[in-house]
Amino acid sequence: MNQQDMTDRVAIVTGGSDGIGRATSEMLASRGAHVVILARGMEKLEATRDAIKAAGGSAEIHSVDLTDAEAYGALVETIASDHGRLDMLVNNAMSVHYGPLDHLKMEHWRKDFAVNADAVFAGTRSAIIAMRKCGGGSIVNVSSTTAIRAAPFMSSYSASKAAMIQFSAVAAMETARDNIRVNCVVPGQVQTAANEDYASKAPELAEKTVAAIPMGRGGLPTELAQSIVFLLSDASAYITGVALPVDGGKSAQLYLPS
């Protein structure tokens, strides 16, 4: 049996209309899964769904703002009930605020936690209930190197992404006997449109950031998608509770001045 084949399986991908999420949605559909893509903006959602369908895949879209974690949790329940099953969930959408601690406001902290932690709890909780009913499933939560290595000026994002890692490990322990697996991927720098835009505005800084990655380049969205799809697939059947760095070696690096 092909362990990458996902025919007849149903997957939900949050933030699946751009960057890593879009690459993941397209890869899941190419393996035969029906992909339910969630994000706020309809234009990018429609473009992603149309591209998947044009390539022969199966997808549907829903507009939802993950700052409302309860609404998201309820939507996961509805999707699972409409399809009679839920096999895979990717919590990939994010919120990020930058700034030194004395400038960061409580509303920024709360928004990053709402999307990166509260919504991950609500979605995972609903998914686990649905997955238990259909004999198992796999959940992948998308964290960040900033959750495990300290980067200044990203306190709310980093702390919420760290909460996601420990929450995922606990969820993995609670569901291990139900044939449900819960894992994280931990991306470093990835060549998404937002990062490319930032790089064009601060080219010197962007160059230095990339040069400090052991592999000397940022990751491709498809390289992240490959690791996410691996953790969703039967090829990783004995892996649960891990936080897998996908970062060109960045988190393993010991910095020594030359």
The stretch near ligand NAP (CB under 6 A) out of 27-35, 86-94, 98-106, 197-205 is 86-94
Out of 4, 32, 40, 251, the residue judged to bind ligand NAP by CB under 6 A: 40
Show the binding pattern over residues 57-76: x = contacts ligand NAP (CB under 6 A), - = does not.
Answer: -------xxxx---------
Q: Does 92 bind ligand NAP (CB under 6 A)?
A: yes
Out of 10, 11, 12, 21, the residue judged to bind ligand NAP by CB under 6 A: 21
State which residue, 30 or 222, has the beta carbon closest to ligand NAP: 222
State which residue, 14 or 138, has the beta carbon closest to ligand NAP: 14
Q: Which of residues 179-238 bind ligand NAP (CB under 6 A)?
A: 187, 189-190, 192, 194-195
Please report the DSSP string for the chain in residue order: --TT--TT-EEEEETTTSHHHHHHHHHHHHTT-EEEEEES-HHHHHHHHHHHHHTT-EEEEEE--TTSHHHHHHHHHHHHHHHT---EEEE---------TTT--HHHHHHHHIIIIIHHHHHHHHHHHHHHHTT-EEEEEE--GGGTS--TT-HHHHHHHHHHHHHHHHHHHHHGGGTEEEEEEEE-SB--HHHHHHHHHSHHHHHHHHHTSTTSSPBPHHHHHHHHHHHHSGGGTT--S-EEEESTTGGGPPP---
State which residue, 14 or 183, has the beta carbon closest to ligand NAP: 14
Is 255 one of the annotated active-site residues of the chain?
no
List contacts with ligand NAP (CB under 6 A). Answer: 14-15, 17-21, 39-41, 44, 64-67, 92-95, 115, 142, 144, 187, 189-190, 192, 194-195
Q: Catalytic positions, please?
A: 157
